[in-house]
Amino acid sequence: MYYNLKFKEDLNYVFEASLVNMLMYKLLTNEEYSRLVETENIENIYSSLGERGYNTSSKEIDFFKEESNLLSNIIKFSKNEVLTEYYRIQYDIFNLKTVYKALLKGEPFESLRLYSNGTLSSEALRLIYNDEYKSYLHPDLMEGVKYFEKNLQDNTPFDIDITWDKYLNIFFLKKSKELDNDFMTKFHQLKIEIQNIMTLFRLKMFNKDYKTLQKSLIPSEKDYSYLFLKLYKEDLDIIVSKLSFLDISPYLKRGYEEYKRKGSLTFLENQLYSLLYDEYLSLASNRIFGYDIIFAYFWRKKREIEKVRLLLAAKTNNMSKLFLEKIRG
């Protein structure tokens, strides 16, 4: 998996990287998460999460705030302007996606819940909502708006989502290249590869048309979109076989075998994202001469917040044991 990975040493981050290395130990392990899935008493779950740094004082975790706090802390560790932009502008893109969907649905600006840690203020976002944005945007965001306006095919919530998601991944790769960071670049290439494979499988499973796949695939420097489109007419067994040349093929095959036994793509998704967030990002563990471990912690914590959110939603709404089993991965 991604041989010849290169890490660049930067002595400017020794203190921050050492501190984040300690924070890594507060992340939930897969075994601990599985135990929480099995725990029936929700009070015990909140107690365990409180020990891991989540604010459980109100017995209801504000995950929007948890992620905002994560971003605030990470920005404090960033000494490079491009790196700071990498973290902050992604939340501007999330906000822009929310604004454009609100415009489509006719939702008032005041009702929108927006991240506050991006480069755009609430007032700037309001101007964008009122179509008065041109002079307020960072060049990367102006590029995003142009990309959105050029590539939006149908003005639906689905198309707004996928168009901004495509640009977000383009943005991530662009910033990783600007930073000349091999670890970051390969993370995002791998992430896009996994997202495209899951899109292929989901649309195939639900018998969606070819055009939906065509507009859903995310472009990448290491782009296999042409192959995914060519394989779309094939059975899943043949697709898995034809993708055996990929670095992630062993994980794809294991996840697919699990899917055939249990009938849910969640198991395949868990297998691939475990590779990305657990195995790949763990390659930065204990590397304190640079910011790679800070980057790894950011993405692993984001992933954990989402998994905990899903777990508590399932527990609160008394989801079935089968559903809880699916989110274990």
157 closest CA partner among 214, 111, 97: 97
Question: Is residue 93 predicted with pLDDT exceeding 80?
Answer: yes
Q: Which amino acid is located at 47 in the chain? A: S
Q: Give 173-228 pLDDT, tens digit per residue.
A: 999 999 999 999 999 999 999 999 999 999 988 888 888 888 899 988 777 788 88
- Residue 322: the pLDDT is 47
**Helix 14-24 × helix 63-77 angle, to 10°:** 150
Using CB atoms within 10 Å of the CB of residue 22, give its burial: 0 to 12 exposed, 13 to 18 middle, 19+ buried. exposed
Q: How far is Cα 268 from Cα 257, in angstroms, rounded to an integer? A: 8
The pLDDT of residue 40 is 86
Q: Which of 98, 88, 220, 82 minimizes the C-alpha distance to 164?
A: 98
Confidence grade of residue 160 (pLDDT, cut at 50, 70, 90): very high
Average per-residue pLDDT in the chain? Answer: 89
| Dihedral sign computed on CA atoms, order 145, 147, 151, 157 | negative
What are residue 41's phi and psi, to 5 degrees? Answer: -80, 110
Domain regions of the chain by residue span? 1-62+182-329, 81-178
Residue range 256-281, pLDDT digits in tens: 998 888 878 888 888 899 999 999 99
Q: Under CATH, to which class is 81-178 assigned?
A: mainly alpha
Average pLDDT over residues 146-155: 92
Residue 92's pLDDT band, with cuts at 50, 70 and 90, is very high
CA distance 316 to 329: 19
Threshold 0.85, pTM exceeds = yes
Q: What pLDDT, in 10s, does the model give residues 277-303?
A: 999 999 998 888 999 999 999 999 999
